[in-house]
Amino acid sequence: MPVTDALDRPVLDIDPFSRESMDNPIELDRAIRAAGPVVWVPKYGFWISGQDAVVREVFEDWRRFSSAFGTGLTNVVREEPWRKPSVILEADPPIHTPNRKVLARVLSPAALRKMADDFKAEAERMVDALLERGGEVDLAADLAFAFPFKVLPDAVGLQPDGRHHLMPYSTLNFNAMGPKNALYAAARKVVEEQGTFEYVAAQMAEANLIPGGFGEEIYAAAHRGEISTDDAGMLVRAFISAGIDTTVFGIGIAIKALVDNPDQWALLREDPTRARAAFEEGLRWFAPSPVIGRTTAGPTELAGVQLGGEEKVMMWLAAANRDPARWDRPDSYDITRRTVGHLAFGTGIHGCVGQMVARLEAESVLGALARKVARIELTAEPERVYINWLRGYHSLPARLTPA
């Protein structure tokens, strides 16, 4: 019999943001998925689901399950958020529609094809530099972090100076989506002491953007009257707060998975064009952003359970991406798998608009490794990330053998 509370709600008594949960992520995911289609988490007062079909239903019905109340634990309509809500992530139509349209055009496949050669060249340069160093390198700091933190700010048109603020700001962003715990407090202290808020405000301004980047194109849409100037600045901010960390950790997860599965590394070495598949399977297998939330627009039913109005529903993507009802051998990392339909990028009208950029970045890095490195050997225990809303590795000490 499932556990229920005094209101006859199915209950799962866990803290998914505890250190114990972060240290045992797969066990946490299994518990969430096994608890039922949707269950109440009393510690935080939200619903949670880790089953593919239920998560998909929430994603695809924005009228019942709104993003406008915030996609984290905070109800940004009723409570004071730590920063002004996003006009793309934390908005529904009609506000969401023109901003999404502008970003989709700026990040179109045609636009990305123009920069593919530059991304590939930069990835190969970085891998060559690691091989030239010899000895031990850190594939997280020196590659999975270094590459996106170089190419994406360049593509947006951010000034070179001050980019050390990007990681602390993004870390605060993803900690703030969870509870206001010690991780959030520590992240906020760092950005306040370093003047990061002032840096971000300056980078959002049109006058500070380098011409020729995504930022200039976004402001051009504002000048044409497609979106407001204020919203243009908010879209530039989206690249600063949400466009880097998830890719960084997604690349690191894929590298770790390939090291742990030598047969899959051999497949990638044989055919480096499988680099994108290796990344996609990594996202399914161990999602770097394991959770995203919605809020019920009013009382509704989900998977046979009655939900009240303005109640948070947390979609545990990492659990849904290993749902055996959806995936064969879900716990196996297999780069030959057809991964279409994994939920790491979301789906529906709020599916990640920058997912093609992330794919291009990861494909460039993993492809360069596959072409230039014969063997990757971890030389020390990887350092796990402790961020409320993210998973991955801060450090992957390794020794590389040239091809």
User: Which band of pLDDT confidence, cut at 50, 70 and 90, is reported for residue 2?
Assistant: low
This prediction has a pTM of 0.95
For the chain, what are the domain ranges?
19-402
Tokens of 319: 């659990």
Strands 383-384 and 393-395: antiparallel
Tokens of 357: 């950029």
Q: Average pLDDT for residues 43-61, to the nearest whole number?
A: 98
Tell me the pLDDT tens digit for each residue of 172-190: 999 999 999 999 999 999 9
Range 19-402: architecture per CATH: Orthogonal Bundle (1.10)
Element (H, E) at 39: strand 39-41
Tell me the pLDDT tens digit for each residue of 298-347: 999 999 999 999 999 999 999 999 999 999 999 999 999 999 999 999 99
Alpha carbon distance 382, 400 (integer Å): 15
Q: Average pLDDT for residues 105-126, to the nearest whole number?
A: 93
Strands 46-49 and 39-41: antiparallel
* DSSP at 272: G
How many residues appear in the chain? Answer: 403
Give the per-residue pLDDT at 284: 98
User: Which band of pLDDT confidence, cut at 50, 70 and 90, is reported for residue 67?
Assistant: very high
Looking at every residue in the chain, the average pLDDT score rounds to 95
Q: What percent of the chain has pLDDT over 90?
A: 91
